[in-house]
Amino acid sequence: MLKKILYVLLAIIAILVIAVFAISEKFTFEKSIVINAPAEKVYAHISSTKAFNEWNPWLKMDPALKMEYSGTSGEIGDKYCWKSEKQEVGNGCQEITALVPNQKQSTKMVFEGMGDAYSDIILTPQGNQTKVTWTLDSELERPKNLMKIFMTGAMDKSYGEGLKTLKEICEK
pLDDT of residue 142: 61
Q: Is 139 domain-assigned?
A: yes
Predicted TM-score (pTM) above 0.85:
no
Q: Is 2 domain-assigned?
A: no
pLDDT digits (tens, 9 = 90+) for 121-168: 999 999 999 999 999 988 766 666 556 666 687 889 999 999 999 999
pLDDT digits (tens, 9 = 90+) for 71-85: 999 999 999 999 998
Q: Is 7 domain-assigned?
A: no
Three-class HEC string of the chain: CHHHHHHHHHHHHHHHHHHHHHCCCEEEEEEEEEECCCHHHHHCCCCCHHHHCCCCHHHHHCCCCEEEEECCCCCCCCEEEEECCCCCCCCEEEEEEEEECCCEEEEEEEECCCEEEEEEEEEEEECCEEEEEEEEEEECCCCHHHHHHHHHHHHHHHHHHHHHHHHHHHCC
Q: Is 88 domain-assigned?
A: yes
Q: Is 84 domain-assigned?
A: yes
70: domain CATH number is 3.30.530.20
pLDDT of residue 164: 98
Domain hosting 130: range is 26-170
Q: Is 4 domain-assigned?
A: no
Q: Is 83 domain-assigned?
A: yes
Total domains in the fold of the chain: 1
Q: Is 115 domain-assigned?
A: yes
